[in-house]
């Protein structure tokens, strides 16, 4: 199924802000000429336009948008029209200061920046519903309208009295009685017994569950706000809705937001620094795979930068091949469209230097424009690939609540919380990367997802076990699945309370893995530790370096595959497997160097019968496969600065580079191909 019904092609376009150019209509004329030239077919419009629509309270002017929508129709552009909640007009914030957010310290914030309104302010909602309804009524039937872009990159929290009251209601609903709350909050600790609901302070760093509940509540509040925006549209329009996510942004549990989106949209701003190409490609492949997995169908890369985002530490001009490879990486991992922030660079303010398709020269002569236009033309060559699916047999788990719980838990040293975007080189990412390097299709799931149908399931550092997850993991293994879990997994339940009966996960997972994790050794870089394999070498090695974390394990029925090489616990288990039912459960107690994971997963994938999408690829070449109507499409990408030669198992046509069928593919530095068998 295609991302948009009746549009069997990839979406290509970007954020278009013509309201910054209303004084120069000739620029808008030129925009449409250039859009056609760049083969752009889709635009997000009106994201920050509330003050243009309603320059004064109750006075509306949609004439400029009427004109833009009409031009979009004539030029056959699809439009995602935004609900304009991300930027309130000055008049609104000044007349109704209660629409401004309150910080955690209780200070009302001044108007300015964007995306910072109070989630519960009634006047914010009244005013917003009015403008949304007017937009929906006016444009619902417009032929250019393809869908609704709800707000922009929802983020942040509000601590005003109204929001705090909603937090109390959330707690009442979740716990039913104060007695129950006190019990689960373990409030005898430091004398925290609560005698009234509103005594629970989400910023009390002593109380792990209070912090966690506020994060859960914040997601609920954003969901409620988003639902409110969607409902305001629905009297008039049933066009699809989405909101643009920000990768693994730690503030919101995106799986919950995904539930109310008709399709998933994400914003991606990688930079490609020397020596980090593989790392960056793997990181974004993981994010893309998660967005595909959320609905098990194509998503949209809603924002990306055709030039360079202005806030990166190094703003390097893009090297040849790099832009195209970044776009194709998204398509390879299930995107059905790539769009830019933004179409045209504005002349003023904090994004005036941010990359855009059209620069301050205003022409089609720039490198950026030409690359975009070239990419747009090539997209038409692979039109038939749009709507194709990915069929992974291996999955990796990443849970927001688990990441929050770990982050809120004092302990485990400074690196404990490294499962957020800033440090994706943390455990989840290093396991993803080790799998990805073998060019196998992967799902990135949360622990609530259905695991059946997968052959291999990897749960790295799944600190929190939500209700029912342990039982489902057991069933997965008993029914023949291969499960891998690592250190720092299954320490706490959904209330961030440690399991009683030992790790991992008390009785249930101790039995499943056949081990007891007595403690974790978190050491300084000066301490050296290794993992020594008990059996055959992996990737030619029998001993691997271990970095900063080792769990002190005891085998309770598991087979020991590897032991620690040093320190007083040398010889004790570091890597184990336990057989249960038709499957098996591996436990990795140590944070190993990447080559261990790569070799370990290489072997395991083979044993699970999961083959790379193409055999014998050179190490610097990665491949992904999408399938549709009996056809398979292979995205092959060169992540190096040297030409790579790929021997193919059978002759394939390179649709992307318009090359005839061959069994040999020559990829220039940073080159990409899209092959059809
Ligand atoms: C996004 C945002 C855009 C633009 C862009 C710049 O986070 O949605 O409006 O600011 O960043 O990279």
Indicate the pLDDT class of residue 418, thresholds 50, 70 and 90.
very low
Distance 28 CA to ligand 1 centre (A): 22
The average confidence (pLDDT) of the chain is: 96
Q: What is the pLDDT of residues 318-354, one digit of tens each?
A: 999 999 999 999 999 999 999 999 999 999 999 999 9
- Ligand 1: residue of 84, 303, 345, 353 to mutate (most ligand atoms within 8 A of CB) is 303
Q: Which helix (H) or strand (E) covers residue 328, if one does?
A: helix 322-332
Distance 246 CA to ligand 1 centre (A): 10
| Residue 309, ligand 1, Cβ within 6 A | yes
For residue 47, the ligand 1 atom closest to its alpha carbon is 9
Residues 6+ apart with CB under 8 A from 381: 655, 656, 658
Other C-beta atoms closer than 10 Å to the C-beta of 391 total 12
**Residue 414: what pLDDT?**
57
**Residue 421: what pLDDT?**
40
Displacement of CA 396 from its chain's centroid (Å): 13
Distance 237 CA to ligand 1 centre (A): 27
| Residue 153, ligand 1, Cβ within 6 A | yes
Q: β-strands 583-588, 78-82: how paired? A: unpaired
* 3 state DSSP class of 580: strand
| Rounded Cα–Cα distance for residues 20 and 4 (Å) | 28
Domains in the chain: ranges and CATH: 11-172+215-385 (3.20.20.80), 394-607 (3.40.50.880), 621-676 (2.60.40.1180)
Indicate the pLDDT class of residue 547, thresholds 50, 70 and 90.
confident
Indicate the pLDDT class of residue 426, thresholds 50, 70 and 90.
confident
**Residue 411: what pLDDT?**
82
**Residue 525: what pLDDT?**
86
* Arithmetic mean of pLDDT, 610-629: 98
Say if residues 250 and 420 touch (Cβ distance below 8 Å). yes
| Rounded Cα–Cα distance for residues 120 and 228 (Å) | 11
User: Residue written as tokens 């085998």?
Assistant: 555
Indicate the pLDDT class of residue 416, thresholds 50, 70 and 90.
low
Q: Which helix (H) or strand (E) covers residue 373, if one does?
A: helix 367-381
Residues 6+ apart with CB under 8 A from 23: none
Indicate the pLDDT class of residue 2, thresholds 50, 70 and 90.
confident
Residue 380 a catalytic site member? no
Catalytic residue of the set 153, 322, 324, 326:
153
Say if residues 625 and 677 touch (Cβ distance below 8 Å). no
Catalytic residue of the set 54, 166, 250, 303:
303
Strands (E), 42-77: 42-45
User: Residue written as tokens 């009683």?
Assistant: 500
- Ligand 1: residue of 14, 84, 85, 267 to mutate (most ligand atoms within 8 A of CB) is 267
Q: What length does the chain have?
A: 677
| Residue 341, ligand 1, Cβ within 6 A | yes
* Arithmetic mean of pLDDT, 400-409: 90
Helices (H) and strands (E) in the chain, counts: 17, 25
In sequence order, what DSSP letters do the residues of 417-438 get, joined into one string?
TTTSGGGTTSHHHHHHHHHHTT
Lowest-confidence range among 134-148, 265-279, 406-420, 467-481?
406-420
| Residue 269, ligand 1, Cβ within 6 A | yes
pTM beyond 0.95, yes or no = yes
Q: What is the pLDDT of residues 155-199, one digit of tens each?
A: 999 999 999 999 999 999 999 999 999 999 999 999 999 999 999
User: Is pLDDT at 419 greater than 50 in this prediction?
Assistant: no
User: Residue written as tokens 């941010």?
Assistant: 354
C-alpha pair distances (Å), 599 with each of 498, 550, 590: 33, 19, 15
| Residue 48, ligand 1, Cβ within 6 A | no
| Structure token pair of residue 464 | 């929190």
Indicate the pLDDT class of residue 415, thresholds 50, 70 and 90.
low
Residue 5 a catalytic site member? no
| Rounded Cα–Cα distance for residues 672 and 324 (Å) | 8
**For 649-677, what is the HEC assignment?**
EEEEEECCCCEEEEEEEEECCCCEEEEEC
* Arithmetic mean of pLDDT, 447-461: 97
Which residue's CA is the nearest one to ligand 1's atom 11?
A: 341
| Rounded Cα–Cα distance for residues 426 and 423 (Å) | 6
Distance 341 CA to ligand 1 centre (A): 7
| Rounded Cα–Cα distance for residues 572 and 560 (Å) | 9
For residue 305, the ligand 1 atom closest to its alpha carbon is 12
| Residue 303, ligand 1, Cβ within 6 A | yes
* Arithmetic mean of pLDDT, 114-121: 98
Q: What is the pLDDT of residues 4-42, one digit of tens each?
A: 888 989 999 999 999 999 999 999 999 999 999 999 999
For the chain, give the percent of residues with pLDDT over 70.
98
* Arithmetic mean of pLDDT, 368-377: 98
Q: What is the pLDDT of residues 225-277, one digit of tens each?
A: 999 999 999 999 999 999 999 999 999 999 999 999 999 999 999 999 999 99
**Residue 146: what pLDDT?**
98
Task: Provide φ and ψ at 411, rounded to 5°.
Answer: 140, 180
C-alpha pair distances (Å), 235 with each of 45, 229, 230: 21, 11, 10
Say if residues 606 and 590 touch (Cβ distance below 8 Å). no
Distance 17 CA to ligand 1 centre (A): 12
Other C-beta atoms closer than 10 Å to the C-beta of 316 total 12
For residue 246, the ligand 1 atom closest to its alpha carbon is 7
| Rounded Cα–Cα distance for residues 544 and 471 (Å) | 33
**Residue 233: what pLDDT?**
98
Distance 229 CA to ligand 1 centre (A): 21
For residue 311, the ligand 1 atom closest to its alpha carbon is 12
| Rounded Cα–Cα distance for residues 382 and 659 (Å) | 13
* Arithmetic mean of pLDDT, 594-598: 96
């Amino acid at each position: 199924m295609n991302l948009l019904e009746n549009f069997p092609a990839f979406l290509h376009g970007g954020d278009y802000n013509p309201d910054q150019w209303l004084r120069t209509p000739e620029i808008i004329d030129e925009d449409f000429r250039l859009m056609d030239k760049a083969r752009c077919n889709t635009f997000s419009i009106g994201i920050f336009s509330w003050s243009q629509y309603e320059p004064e309270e109750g006075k509306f002017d949609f004439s400029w948008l009427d004109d833009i929508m009409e031009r979009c129709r004539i030029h056959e552009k699809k439009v995602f029209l935004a609900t304009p909640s991300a930027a309130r007009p000055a008049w609104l914030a000044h007349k109704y200061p209660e629409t401004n957010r309150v910080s955690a310290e209780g200070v009302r914030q001044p108007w300015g920046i964007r995306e910072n309104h109070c989630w519960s302010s009634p006047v914010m909602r009244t005013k917003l519903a009015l403008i949304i309804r007017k937009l929906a009524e006016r444009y619902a039937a417009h032929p250019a309208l393809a869908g609704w872009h709800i707000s922009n990159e929802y983020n942040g929290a509000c601590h005003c009295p109204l929001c705090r009251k909603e937090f109390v209601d959330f707690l009442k609903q979740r716990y039913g009685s104060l007695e129950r709350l006190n019990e689960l909050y373990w409030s005898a600790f430091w004398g925290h017994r609560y005698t009234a609901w509103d005594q629970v302070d989400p910023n009390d760093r002593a109380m792990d569950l209070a912090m966690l509940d506020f994060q859960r509540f914040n997601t609920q509040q954003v969901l409620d706000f988003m639902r409110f925006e969607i409902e305001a549209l629905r009297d008039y329009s049933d066009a699809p809705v989405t909101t643009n996510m920000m990768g693994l942004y730690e503030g919101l549990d995106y799986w919950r937001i995904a539930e109310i989106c008709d399709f998933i949209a994400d914003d991606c701003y990688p930079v490609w620094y020397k020596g980090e190409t593989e790392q960056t490609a793997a990181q974004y492949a993981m994010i893309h795979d998660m967005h595909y997995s959320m609905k098990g169908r194509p998503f949209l890369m809603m924002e990306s930068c055709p030039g360079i985002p202005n806030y990166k530490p190094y703003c390097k001009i893009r090297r040849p091949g790099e832009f195209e490879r970044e776009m194709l990486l998204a398509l390879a991992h299930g995107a059905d469209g790539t769009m830019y922030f933004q179409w045209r660079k504005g002349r003023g303010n904090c994004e005036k230097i941010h990359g855009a398709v059209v620069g301050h020269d205003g022409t089609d002569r720039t490198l950026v424009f030409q690359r975009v236009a070239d990419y747009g033309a090539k997209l038409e060559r692979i039109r038939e690939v749009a709507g194709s699916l990915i069929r992974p047999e291996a999955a990796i788990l990443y849970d927001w609540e688990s990441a929050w719980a770990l982050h809120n838990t004092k302990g485990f040293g400074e690196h404990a919380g490294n499962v957020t975007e800033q440090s994706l080189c943390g455990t989840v990412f290093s396991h993803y990367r080790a799998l990805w390097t073998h060019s196998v299709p992967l799902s990135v799931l949360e622990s609530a997802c259905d695991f059946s149908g997968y052959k291999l399931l990897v749960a790295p550092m799944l600190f929190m076990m939500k209700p029912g997850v342990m039982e489902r993991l057991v069933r997965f293994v008993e029914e023949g699945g291969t499960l891998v879990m690592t250190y720092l997994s299954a320490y706490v339940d959904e209330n961030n309370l440690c399991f009683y009966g030992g790790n991992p996960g008390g009785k249930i997972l101790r039995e499943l893995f056949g081990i007891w994790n007595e403690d974790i050794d978190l050491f300084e870089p000066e301490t050296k530790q290794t993992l020594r394999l008990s059996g055959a070498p992996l990737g030619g090695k029998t001993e691997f370096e271990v970095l900063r974390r080792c769990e002190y394990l005891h085998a309770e029925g598991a087979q020991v595959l590897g032991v620690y090489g040093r320190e007083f616990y040398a010889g004790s288990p570091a890597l184990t497997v336990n057989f249960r039912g038709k499957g098996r459960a591996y436990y990795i107690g140590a944070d190993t160097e990447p080559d261990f994971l790569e070799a370990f997963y290489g072997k395991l994938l083979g044993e699970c019968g999961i083959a790379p999408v193409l055999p014998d690829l050179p190490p610097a070449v990665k491949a992904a496969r999408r399938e549709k109507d009996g056809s398979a499409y292979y995205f092959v990408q060169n992540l190096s600065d040297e030409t790579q030669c790929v021997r193919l198992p059978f002759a394939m046509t390179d649709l992307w580079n318009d090359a005839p069928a061959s069994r040999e593919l020559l990829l220039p530095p940073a080159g990409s191909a899209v092959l059809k068998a």
